[in-house]
């Protein structure tokens, strides 16, 4: 009670989906001046032979709904297909220094980039140039540099064909410096799952959601980030499946869903309750919460065994398929409930009740997202979720498995076709043979390594295939200053963003087609392909007239730069590859024959074609050739401990953004409207701090390293959060994330447990 009044946390009263989502789409429709192609595109969205949305990477079903898009999928299509244009005259009117004062929203809202531009230091403007000049200018710069000092970054949108050639280009040029947005996202998954179950992606396929009896759901927000997932979740609940959610934030999308495609639900306004239990774990508390679940399962089993009754564990599976079960079971027995309660912030009784759901379920899926991966000990959290699933053989059979919900629409696929800084994940020998060259064998740089390299003046060139790297990385303020020491920056993009303004001595801004636009090469429309979260590959054809006659496809831009930069080579057929993307798919099939068999024949298979997954088949490509139980070394995933007066900040996404792209200022599903400069805090912590709603505060870094990091101007907003947890928006909060504060195994920045203090 501040000022004697009870503080009421903000919340959204309605279910997710429903009329609210229709209004969300309508509002962006009216703001964004979409082209006529939008409606036709939305009707083709995520359907066989249609257009694969560039929002999230949720699977595309074999039998799509009439409208196979969600609120945010529609927003992303409308955002791409706006009629607004950011033309050379815009750049002539505004210097780069002036644009640096603008907000993210104001930059992107200018519309689609229309012509290749080159930075002119004499006037501090981007000025138009020809593609020819851009390619030869970039090539000249690249050929001046030591290849090891140049970075080839990818955000996860470019399709498989472009991504494959981008990887080739980097390796022909001479490095494995191929970090992608995944380094800030699900790299924890790639590294941790690889270690414990021998695959770097999830084991589930879409069909598993039709058969599971329970879903244990950690730190992923489907209402905002993968809206089409709400349909299978709703259908699962209607079948009797129980969803147990672990999340510090009460996300509406996991509480109740009203299907906008169901007239009866729309009329009655009554949706489906999704979460059977919603456990508001503390940030970083998942390792101990899952330890609690495992402890209960093992203790029930111990009791049954003492009484010579049947085990509730999958004993056969544990014997045949698992390694180190006994060590883990012993650790679970020895971990005290008081520690589990303290680190998770949850009650023993609740964890035991959740564990009973696990025991009663024949088939269980573990789902997770950034809430698990973006922590200092995030990879141990992923390992814990695998431990839980292994106990009852919940992996590699129908209706069971692990399902990380990937981010960008083709982020998983890019890794599949060679976008990786880890040479051991790429068939370099095969590439050497196919393309007659000696590939670089040394490790490339991850996102965090790149940032260190920039700070130490060891990185001299940065090519960006999409994305907004400087905005998305940790420690942003320091990074922005060091960034401009580079010799060359090249940004392949659709809309203007802040990274483009933080440029090297030489900089190019190269505008590309979006996936929904027609991509004609030599008058033949080309299809591209992407891989979803379930390892299914889908063809996509854009049909909308391009935003400008000067645009090139991402693939054509890459081959343009590559051809200008590299010497002629009989096996490097840049022109032929550009004129027929089918030829690139043939190369991908030659490089990865097991995954991409009959690639060109299968791209339009309804529901996509499955490239397979070893863990799904219970084949374990791990060091022990078995699925690995792991004993966590910590009970909290946080890198800096909790103490009175200290807080951990969750950097979150609103319902009106796609990563650094801000569509607007409504976070409807959390009941937050109008501003992103806010700090979410529990009413109890507000009271303890003597804060009132609307007070303006700063957040200071509390990472214990004496570096001053600060974000100010934040309005105090009461919100239902566990004590000690704060919420603020990504990317605004990124200056507070220390560069060294990342997952111990994968170097994924720990954006969900950032140590901070509040200053008035
Ligand atoms: N509309 C839209 N769609 C998107 C994106 C977008 O920005 N907008 N981004 C795309 C990308 S690249 C990605 S990677 C995905 C991201 O999608 P998600 O994986 O859903 O990522 P976040 O929204 O960052 O965080 C997920 C949840 O983690 C919870 N959380 C925070 N800390 C913890 C914790 O310690 N434990 C647990 N259990 N939960 C925690 C947060 O409350 C939040 O609900 O979405 C993709 N789809
Ligand atoms: N604090 C904090 N930081 C985070 C996160 C977090 O949760 N908290 N999340 C992290 C995650 S999960 C991710 S994936 C990264 C995201 O990092 P990035 O992937 O680098 O960033 P995006 O915001 O997705 O990039 C948006 C830009 O991409 C360009 N673009 C859009 N569509 C296309 C296209 O089709 N082609 C091309 N070439 N360009 C296009 C546009 O210019 C747009 O401005 O951020 C990470 N950073
Ligand atoms: Mo992501």
* Ranges 66-70, 545-549, 693-697: which has the least confidence: 66-70
Task: Report the pLDDT averaged over residues 95-124.
Answer: 97
**724 within ligand 1 shell (Cβ under 6 A):** no
Q: By alpha-carbon position, which residue is closest to atom 11 of ligand 1?
A: 407
Q: Which pLDDT score, from 0 to 100, does residue 1 have?
A: 47
Q: What is the pLDDT confidence band of residue 642, given thresholds at 50, 70 and 90? A: confident
Choose which residue among 76, 181, 225, 501 to substitute to test ligand 2 binding: the one with the highest number of ligand atoms within 8 A of its C-beta.
181
> Cα of 660 to ligand 1 centre, how many Å?
13
Choose which residue among 107, 188, 494 to substitute to test ligand 2 binding: the one with the highest number of ligand atoms within 8 A of its C-beta.
494
Q: Is the pLDDT of residue 449 over 80?
A: yes
Q: Is the pLDDT of residue 635 over 70?
A: yes
Instruction: Report H helices in 210-279.
Output: 222-225, 230-239, 263-268
Q: Which pLDDT score, from 0 to 100, does residue 2 have?
A: 47
**636 within ligand 1 shell (Cβ under 6 A):** no
Q: Which pLDDT score, from 0 to 100, does residue 3 have?
A: 53
C-alpha torsion 577→612→201→208, nearest 10: 130
Q: Which pLDDT score, from 0 to 100, does residue 645 have?
A: 75
Q: By alpha-carbon position, which residue is closest to atom 36 of ligand 1?
A: 371
> Cα of 219 to ligand 1 centre, how many Å?
7
Instruction: Using the atom order of ligand 1, give the atom closest to the CA of residue 76.
Output: 1
Q: Give φ, ψ of 637 to 5 degrees.
A: -80, -5
Q: Which pLDDT score, from 0 to 100, does residue 4 have?
A: 55
* Ranges 17-31, 157-171, 485-499: which has the least confidence: 17-31
Maximum Cα interatomic distance, the chain, rounded to a whole number of Å: 84
Question: In the numeric block, which tokens belong to residue 549?
Answer: 């006659």
**72 within ligand 1 shell (Cβ under 6 A):** yes
Q: What is the pLDDT of residues 518-559, one digit of tens each?
A: 999 999 999 999 999 999 999 999 999 999 999 999 999 999
In DSSP notation, 560-627 reads HHHHHHSPP-TT--HHHHHH-HHHHHHHHHHHSTTTSTTHHHHTT-TT-EE---TGGGT---STTSSE
For all residues of the chain together, what is the average pLDDT?
A: 96
> Cα of 427 to ligand 2 centre, how many Å?
27
> Cα of 551 to ligand 2 centre, how many Å?
21
The DSSP bridge partners found for residue 243 are 215, 275
Q: By alpha-carbon position, which residue is closest to atom 10 of ligand 1?
A: 407
Q: Is the pLDDT of residue 254 over 80?
A: yes
Q: Which pLDDT score, from 0 to 100, does residue 207 have?
A: 97
Q: By alpha-carbon position, which residue is closest to atom 46 of ligand 1?
A: 407
* Ranges 59-73, 297-311, 614-628: which has the least confidence: 59-73
Fold classification of 187-405 is Dimethylsulfoxide Reductase; domain 2 (3.40.228)
Residue 205, CA distances (Å) to 219, 611, 615, 701, 744 in order: 20, 11, 12, 41, 29
> Cα of 466 to ligand 2 centre, how many Å?
8
Closest CA to 201 of 409, 425, 403: 403
Q: Is the pLDDT of residue 508 over 90?
A: yes
Task: Report the pLDDT averaged over residues 325-352.
Answer: 98
From CA 479, how far away is CA 490, in angstroms rounded?
Answer: 17
Q: What is the pLDDT of residues 282-335, one digit of tens each?
A: 999 999 999 999 999 999 999 999 999 999 999 999 999 999 999 999 999 999
From CA 393, how far away is CA 395, in angstroms rounded?
Answer: 6
From CA 14, how far away is CA 21, in angstroms rounded?
Answer: 11
From CA 555, how far away is CA 160, in angstroms rounded?
Answer: 10
> Which residues neighbour 71 within 8 Å (Cβ) at sequence distance 6 or greater?
17, 21, 24, 25, 227, 655
DSSP E strands in 178-327: the ranges are 214-218, 242-246, 256-258, 272-273, 275-279, 322-323
> Cα of 152 to ligand 2 centre, how many Å?
15
Q: By alpha-carbon position, which residue is closest to atom 44 of ligand 1?
A: 221
From CA 541, how far away is CA 524, in angstroms rounded?
Answer: 12
> Looking at residue 726, what DSSP letter applies?
E
Q: Is the pLDDT of residue 56 over 90?
A: yes
What residues does each domain of the chain span? 85-185+410-520+537-606, 187-405, 647-759
Fold classification of 85-185+410-520+537-606 is Rossmann fold (3.40.50)
> Cα of 429 to ligand 3 centre, how many Å?
30
If one counts every other C-beta atom within 10 angstroms of the C-beta of residue 589, the result is 16
Question: In the numeric block, which tokens belong to residue 118?
Answer: 């080159």
Contact indicator for 81, 58 with CB cutoff of 8 Å: no
Q: Which ligand is nearest to the CA of 737?
A: 2
**721 within ligand 1 shell (Cβ under 6 A):** no
**648 within ligand 1 shell (Cβ under 6 A):** no
Fold classification of 647-759 is Barwin-like endoglucanases (2.40.40)
Q: What is the pLDDT of residues 387-429, one digit of tens each?
A: 999 999 999 999 999 999 999 999 999 999 999 999 999 999 9
Pocket residues: Cβ below 6 A from ligand 2: 54, 108, 155, 157, 181, 184-185, 370, 374, 407-408, 465-469, 472, 492-495, 497, 512, 514, 554, 651, 659-661, 730-731, 733-734, 737, 751
> Cα of 661 to ligand 2 centre, how many Å?
7
Question: In the numeric block, which tokens belong to residue 723?
Answer: 């004590």
Q: Which ligand is nearest to the CA of 225?
A: 1
Q: What is the pLDDT confidence band of residue 713, given thresholds at 50, 70 and 90? A: very high
Task: Report the pLDDT averaged over residues 155-180.
Answer: 98
Contact indicator for 493, 509 with CB cutoff of 8 Å: yes
Instruction: Using the atom order of ligand 1, give the atom closest to the CA of residue 181.
Output: 12
Closest CA to 167 of 423, 506, 394: 423
Q: Is the pLDDT of residue 8 over 70?
A: yes
Q: Which pLDDT score, from 0 to 100, does residue 347 have?
A: 98
Q: Which pLDDT score, from 0 to 100, does residue 6 have?
A: 87
Contact indicator for 153, 465 with CB cutoff of 8 Å: yes
């Amino acid at each position: 009670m501040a000022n004697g009044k009870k503080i009421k946390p903000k919340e959204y009263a309605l279910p997710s989906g429903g009329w609210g989502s229709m209004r969300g789409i309508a509002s962006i429709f009216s703001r964004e001046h979409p082209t006529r192609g939008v409606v036709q595109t939305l009707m083709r969205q995520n359907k066989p032979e249609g257009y694969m949305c560039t929002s999230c990477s949720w699977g595309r079903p074999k039998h799509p709904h009439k409208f196979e898009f969600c609120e945010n999928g529609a927003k992303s299509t409308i955002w791409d297909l706006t009629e607004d244009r950011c033309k050379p005259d815009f750049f002539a009117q505004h210097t780069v220094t002036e644009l640096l004062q603008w907000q993210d929203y104001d930059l992107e809202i200018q519309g689609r980039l229309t012509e290749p531009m080159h930075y002119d230091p004499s006037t501090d403007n981007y000025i138009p140039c020809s593609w020819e000049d851009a390619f030869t200018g970039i090539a000249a710069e690249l050929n001046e540099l030591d290849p090891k000092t140049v970075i080839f970054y990818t955000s996860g949108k470019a399709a498989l064909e472009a991504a494959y050639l981008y990887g080739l280009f980097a390796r022909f040029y001479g490095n494995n410096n191929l970090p992608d947005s995944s380094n800030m996202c699900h790299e924890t998954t790639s590294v941790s799952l690889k270690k414990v179950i021998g695959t770097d992606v999830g084991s589930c396929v879409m069909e598993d959601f039709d058969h599971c009896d329970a879903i244990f759901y950690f730190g992923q927000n489907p209402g905002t980030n993968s809206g089409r997932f709400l349909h299978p979740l709703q259908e699962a609940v209607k079948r009797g499946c129980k969803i147990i959610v672990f999340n510090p934030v009460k996300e509406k999308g996991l509480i109740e869903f009203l299907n906008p495609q169901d007239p009866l639900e729309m009329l009655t306004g009554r949706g489906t309750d999704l979460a059977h239990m919603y456990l508001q774990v503390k940030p970083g508390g998942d390792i101990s919460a899952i330890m609690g679940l495992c402890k209960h399962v093992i203790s029930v089993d111990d009791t049954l065994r003492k009484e010579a009754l049947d085990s509730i564990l999958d004993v056969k599976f544990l014997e045949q398929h698992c390694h180190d079960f006994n060590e883990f079971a012993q650790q679970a027995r020895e971990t005290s409930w008081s520690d589990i309660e303290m680190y998770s912030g949850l009650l023993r009784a609740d964890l035991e009740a959740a564990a009973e759901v696990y025991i009663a379920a024949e088939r269980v899926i573990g789902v997770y997202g950034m809430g698990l991966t973006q922590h200092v000990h995030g990879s141990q959290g992923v390992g814990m979720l695998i431990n839980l699933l292994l106990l009852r053989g919940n992996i590699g059979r129908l209706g069971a498995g692990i399902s990380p919900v990937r981010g960008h629409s083709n982020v998983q696929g890019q890794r599949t076709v060679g976008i990786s800084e880890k040479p051991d994940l790429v068939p370099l020998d095969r590439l050497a043979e196919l393309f007659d060259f000696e590939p670089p064998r040394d490790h490339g740089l991850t996102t965090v390594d790149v940032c260190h390299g920039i700070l130490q003046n060891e990185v001299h060139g940065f090519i960006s295939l999409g994305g907004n790297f400087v905005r998305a990385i940790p420690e942003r303020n320091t990074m922005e200053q060091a960034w401009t020491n580079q010799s060359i920056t090249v940004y392949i993009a659709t809309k203007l963003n802040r990274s483009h303004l933080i440029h090297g001595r030489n900089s190019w801004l190269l505008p590309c087609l979006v996936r929904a636009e027609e991509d004609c090469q030599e008058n033949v429309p080309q299809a591209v392909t992407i891989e979803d979260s379930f390892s299914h590959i889908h063809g996509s054809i854009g049909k909308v007239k391009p935003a400008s006659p000067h645009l090139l496809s991402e693939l054509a831009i890459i081959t343009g730069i590559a051809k200008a930069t590299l010497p002629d080579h009989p096996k490097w057929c840049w022109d032929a590859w550009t004129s027929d993307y089918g030829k690139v798919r043939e190369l991908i099939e030659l490089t990865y024959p097991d995954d991409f068999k009959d690639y060109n024949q299968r791209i339009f298979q309804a529901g996509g074609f499955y490239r397979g997954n070893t863990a799904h088949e219970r084949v374990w490509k791990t060091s022990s050739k078995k699925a690995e139980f792991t004993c966590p070394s910590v009970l909290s995933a946080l890198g800096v401990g909790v103490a009175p007066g200290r807080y951990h900040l969750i950097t979150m996404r609103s319902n009106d953004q796609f990563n650094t792209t801000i569509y607007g200022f409504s976070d409807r599903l959390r009941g937050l409207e109008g501003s992103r400069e806010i700090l979410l805090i529990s009413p109890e912590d507000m009271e303890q701090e003597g804060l009132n709603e609307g007070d303006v505060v700063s957040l200071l870094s509390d990472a214990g390293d004496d570096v001053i990091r600060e974000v100010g101007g934040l309005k105090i907003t009461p919100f239902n959060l566990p004590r000690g947890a704060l919420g603020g928006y990504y990317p605004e909060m990124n200056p507070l994330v220390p560069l060294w504060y990342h997952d111990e195994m994968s170097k994924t920045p720990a954006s969900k447990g950032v140590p901070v203090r509040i200053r008035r």
